[in-house]
Chain A
Amino acid sequence: MATNISFILNGDEISYEVKDHWTLSHLLREEMGLIGTKEGCGNGECGACTVIVDKLAVNSCLYLAIEVEGKIVETIEGLASTSGALHPIQQSFVKNGGIQCGFCSPGMIMSSKALLDKNPDANHEEIKHALAGNICRCTGYVQILESVEAVKNMGGQNE
């Protein structure tokens, strides 16, 4: 039971034959080798697998791959520019200590991107609300929240 789907992945048009029961995280990680999307629980309770589908942050472990047909999918691999420059959110996480073990980082950064793309001036409470589904055990969130706040001050955050 496989279906051919077309979608846009990190700016590229993709046509891929997916098994109907694959999750999006399975497609990305196991089939396409995009290991940047992490799986920390497989049940939508940690946010490590967060990717952006049609501008919305979703848990790719609870999203069927077949359902991205016709949609725009963004993963952590698509954030840095083609020349390799980090996206301002990535830069800010690096600079402000938002990353320790790094396992939650791709998901955390994708959740931040979904928020800031829509609401570049998000306030502290809005940031906390948007990141509440991304569990981090290393940082106590302090430097993560600082990282997201700092993006606002970096200017010209959209490529």
Chain B
Amino acid sequence: MSKSNSDFSVVGKRIPKLDAAQKAMGRAEYIQDIKLPGMLYGRILYSKYAHANIVKIDTSKAVALSGVHAVLTGEDVPEKMKMGFIKDNPPIKKGKVCSFRDEVAAVAAISPEIAKKALDLIEIEYEEQIGIFDPEKAMEKDSPLVHGHLKSNVLKMPWDIHYGDVEKAEKESAFVVEDRFTTQWVTHCCLGTSGAIALFDANDNLTIHTNTQIPSLAQKDFLESLKAMGLENKRVRVIKPIIGGGFGSKLDTYAYEHIAILLAHKCRKPVKIAFDRVEEFKATSTRQPTIIYIKQGCDKNGKLTFRDMRMVLDNGAHTSWGATTPSVMLMPISSLYRVENVKYVAKCVYTNNTYSQAMRGYGNPQATFAIESSMDMLAEKAGIDRIEIRRINRNQSGDETPQGLKITTCGLEECIDAVEKELKFDGKNEKGVGTGIASLIHVGGGARIYGSDGCGAILKMDDYGKVDVFTGGTDMGQGLDNIIAQIVAEELGLLAEDINVVHSDTDICPWDVGAHASRSTFVAGNAALGAAKKVKQKIQKFASKLFDVPAEKIEFKDKLVFVPGDQEKSMPLGKLLRKAHFSPGGTMLMAEYFYDPDNQNMGKELKGNMSMTYSFGAHGAKVKVDEETGKVEVLEYVAAHDVGRAINPLLLEGQVYGGVVMGLGYALTEEVTVKDGEIMNANFRDYKLFTAKDAVKIKAPIIETDDKDGPFGAKGIGEPGCVPTAPAIANAIYDAVGVRIKDLPITPEKVLVALKKKND
């Protein structure tokens, strides 16, 4: 029988973030705040052109500047030092640049000011080449090539998928809709900008303090860089300081990290590279922009018959994880609502634009924008209510989707109900006001996109009943430390504050694939739970001798170890631990556990149950459209999610609210404006994040489905908040004024153009 929240003492409680007081006092140390003795300051020079040959570089004046310790160009980078998941990107380019963010030189100096001055003294002669900025044009046969050594701008990627029989299903459909949608570049805008400090010890072992969401994979990347530098068999220690936001931006290693390593090695001193805001905009990665063609149909009763989608992704000049987002887009395409026949073709195309990376949702917001906009169009064509068509086709527990996703628990219907309860969907709003709904599916139980989807945990009890948990998982502000503390505390009958969670230091913490795919609560949570269970068994074994009862009779609550119903057989946990420690042949209790979920990599047929469970949600928006200006105001917003179990509703709501507002920015205001490869709005004035004054009333109903595989039933919820936001808004705008905007962001200009077209 599934447990209810009243069965728990720590899980399900609104426990404030354990590190919040430290942060509230201004005592949290971010990379910007760390200074090491003798530290130098590195800085990077970027290309002046989107596409050019480097004819000549003269660094002599920079080298001669007093205070400069090292100047690097592409010539100084070992041949095999490359970044990105297909290793196509050296940290400093040699001979040729393919985008404005291409690194062409770097310096280390005794102050940031001197480093900056040194960059100004580097003279580079370029020979400009024709740039290609439109991915669809870049696909054409006679298009100039971004990388001359390749035969085509189209990347070799496997995204050509067909489940069932789409052609047949289309013929048999009663209603079919077809359209084209486009999404823009947006970027993470972490308040804490990027940075790293690299230093080598006397034996050439590297320590790097860096803003990362993937300490273990970053360690691997840096080991490869060391190898390329001729430093084999050396050690790399990755330490992540407190970071000012992640949102996916730190899922790959960046040139600045590898450059800091090169400079530190050359100077034999710690070297820090810290981005300013302009650099953060220009030299970190974006969410993948997409051109999406969608066709889907239903039978006369509104049951979906097929979904056929084709996408072109602007890959930019180099390849980071952005090119793999179709693997996640496939999830909503194949599995948001029941649809048997699915086709999906995606092409990633090199251009001379900036390159993309992971960003909250990992492709899902783009795909869901097209799918859920199209669902409303289909409902209208079929004459079916837009809530009803979603109910008819909703996913349900026990489903296996064409992609092979196994839906263990599904609260989608309850989420739709919750949205309908909060907002009016009867079309009887006042003029210019409308409501919209959109649903989501997302991985909620890890995501196997790498050889291992695992996470380790080491748990150490002290002599006083307190616990140190060393987790592979990474906290970046989302509150993973709380979640782990609450899970371990629940299991051991302690309070969250009794648990110290240590994370993000590869010398101390076990391996983890990274803080991505909304997986940390589920995977790192299960790892910590596994370790807690192991240590619990050890305590039970010891107490069983002490109390002379079978081990399974021993329970843990309120910091006591006891046998229910027997008041004599009870002891504070700390006392019991001391007894275990300070007896002849004593022992200190520790446990380790590595949890690797039983999920599947997609095979050659691009099928497989990538996650142990899936999170669902439905969002509803009520908007007011000013028909004279095109301006959209969000009046109310409801974001209901099936989260399995809320380990901490306070933090969970924080994830949802934050996700929703990021999604609203995606829908309405945010866009990295790129002109011929150059970013034109690299500041917070022109890159329009929502401000507190734009804040929206948001309700976040929590649906608990108690997933059998989740820690205490929990699923992941980090990303879903921003997944269906844009289509919920687009659908509400359509409801309000009858125009459908298919190109994000939905600016007043676009709304006004559409309104004029409609009224003509």
Contacts and interface: CB of A to CB of B under 8 A. Distances in A.
| A interacts with B | yes
B178 to A, nearest CB: 34
A128 B653 CA distance: 20
A102 B277 contact: no
A21 B99 CA distance: 35
B692 A45 contact: no
Interface in B527-573: none
Contacts of B689: 135, 137
Contacts of A102: 19-20, 22-24, 28, 242, 244, 477
Q: Which of B246, B685, B692 has the most CB of A within 10 A?
A: B692
Interface stretch (B188-196, B621-629, B703-711, B749-757): B188-196
A80 B26 CA distance: 10
A103 B244 contact: yes
Interface string A26-53: 0001000011111111110110100000
B251 to A, nearest CB: 16
Contacts of B695: 128, 140-142, 145
Contacts of B25: 36, 76-77, 79-80, 86, 90
A65 interface: no
6 contacts: A46-B277, A93-B24, A100-B479, A106-B23, A106-B26, A139-B661
A143 interface: yes
B392 interface: no
A144 B193 CA distance: 21
Main secondary structure of the interface of A (DSSP, over half): loop
Contacts, number: 181
B127 to A, nearest CB: 34
A99 B192 contact: no
A75 interface: yes
Interface in A80-98: 80, 86, 90, 93-97
B172 interface: no
A109 interface: yes
Given A43-B277, A75-B26, A128-B693, A101 B654 contact: no
B107 to A, nearest CB: 20
B558 to A, nearest CB: 23
Contacts of B654: 97, 100, 138-139, 142-143
Contacts of B245: 100-101, 103, 137-138
Interface of B: 16-17, 19-30, 32-33, 188-193, 242-247, 276-277, 476-479, 650-651, 653-654, 657-662, 683-685, 689-693, 695-696, 698
B16 A95 contact: yes
Given A38-B32, A135-B691, A141-B695, A101 B191 contact: yes
Given A46-B684, A94-B21, A101 B477 contact: yes
Contacts of B685: 43, 45
Given A37-B26, A101-B245, A135-B684, 4 more contacts: A35-B32, A79-B25, A132-B691, A140-B658
A58 interface: no
A40 B277 CA distance: 7
A142 B24 contact: no
Contacts of A135: 189, 191, 684, 689, 691
A60 interface: no
A129 interface: yes
A78 to B, nearest CB: 10
A105 B242 CA distance: 13
A57 interface: no
Contacts of A43: 277, 683-685
A105 B662 CA distance: 18
A24 interface: no
Contact of A99 (B24, B188, B657, B660): B24
Contact of A48 (B24, B191, B692): B191
Contact of A140 (B246, B477, B698): B698
A86 B26 contact: no
Contacts of A29: 33
Contacts of B684: 41, 43, 45-46, 135
A41 B242 CA distance: 18
B657 A139 contact: yes
A38 B696 CA distance: 26
A48 B693 CA distance: 16
Nearest to A142: B657
A131 interface: yes
A140 B657 contact: yes
